[in-house]
Amino acid sequence: MSMIAASPQTLTIKGLSKRFQIDNDFVEVLNDIDLEVTPGEFVSIIGPSGCGKSTLLRMVAGLEQEYQGEIYLGDELIKGPRVNRGMVFQEARLYPWLTIENNVAFGLGHHHSAEEKKRIVAEHLELVGLSSFAKAYPHQLSGGMQQRVSIARALVNRPQVLLLDEPFGALDAMTRISMQQEIIRIWEAEKTTILLVTHDIDEAIFLGDRVVVMSKRPATAKAVIPIDLPRPRDRNSYEFVQVRKTIYSNFFSEVEVPFSYSI
């Protein structure tokens, strides 16, 4: 890539708490979350359904601004959305009336010349392996290919942090495995800091440098588990299975859960 990215900075979450008002009641979602993510690190976040994982990501993105605590990217206190943080959702959320290249270009804004936009878009379509589909429309692409477009669109501004909110949850098992390998390839090429929210424990281990296990609501960071496994990772290796057992023991503390191989 020929674009120059800003110097990487640490993402720091301090004392983060969040509650929602529903009718006349308050529902506590997050409780005193502390987390530091170093530049270029890949951190996976897992936890029970409804514990606030996606809310946490939205707060880092600046999409949720009513909370207690602080979030910093370097010395910048996050107060709202900025291009130094990109987000990919479970659904691709592409504009059906735009071509793939125009969907990717949509995130660039107006501060680039037409020639610069064309070059940047071409570089990112190449990054996600979709150069030959630049003139196609979203309905002509598979679900996995549409998510690649979403990733390209999230990366066009060279964000320091990429936020992935269960981006492979709607994909079939084989496509999901392929996309996991794809995101590792992109991460290794771009060196972008990544936070991934997933409900899939195997995915969290396969992708992450660390796995944050969140408790049930109001969620705390119950455990932070380093994944000291070489890449590429073998899901069936003894070491991988041992990490999985450790995470299961944290995830289901007092409950004996049958062993399973999720993908």
Residue partners of 1: CB distance under 8 A and separation at least 6: 123, 127, 158, 190
The mean predicted confidence, pLDDT, of the chain is: 90
4 pLDDT tier (thresholds 50, 70, 90): very low
Q: In a 10 Å sphere around its CB, with 0-12 CB exposed, 13-18 middle and 19+ buried, how is residue 124 labelled?
A: buried
Please report, for the chain, the start and end positions of each structural domain, with discontinuous segments joined by +.
11-251
**5 has pLDDT over 60:** no
What is the arithmetic mean of pLDDT over 44-50?
A: 92
What is the arithmetic mean of pLDDT over 24-47?
A: 94
**1 has pLDDT over 70:** no
Architecture of domain 11-251: 3-Layer(aba) Sandwich (3.40)
What is the arithmetic mean of pLDDT over 153-181?
A: 93
Task: List, for residues 99-139, the tens digit of each pLDDT value.
Answer: 999 999 987 877 788 899 999 999 999 999 999 999 999 99
Q: What is the pLDDT of residue 220?
A: 92
Task: List, for residues 62-110, the tens digit of each pLDDT value.
Answer: 999 899 999 999 999 999 999 999 999 988 999 999 999 999 998 787 7
Measured between alpha carbons, how far is 100 from 90 in angstroms, rounded to an integer?
18
Task: List, for residues 168-221, the tens digit of each pLDDT value.
Answer: 988 999 999 999 999 999 999 999 999 999 999 999 999 999 999 999 888 999
Q: Tell me the whole-structure pTM to 2 decimals.
A: 0.90
**261 has pLDDT over 90:** no
7 pLDDT tier (thresholds 50, 70, 90): low
Name the phi and psi angles at 86, rounded to 5: -110, 150
Tokens of 197: 């929210």
**259 has pLDDT over 60:** no
**263 has pLDDT over 80:** no
Q: In a 10 Å sphere around its CB, with 0-12 CB exposed, 13-18 middle and 19+ buried, how is residue 37 labelled?
A: buried
Tokens of 214: 């969140």
Query: DSSP class of residue 219?
Result: B
What is the arithmetic mean of pLDDT over 2-20?
A: 79
**240 has pLDDT over 80:** yes
Q: How far is CA 77 from CA 13, 170, 215, in A?
A: 10, 33, 26
Q: What is the pLDDT of residue 161?
A: 97
Give the strands of the sheet with 210-214, arranged side by side.
85-88, 161-165, 193-197, 42-46, 210-214, 221-226
Looking up tokens 């999409």 gives 63
Query: DSSP class of residue 107?
Result: G
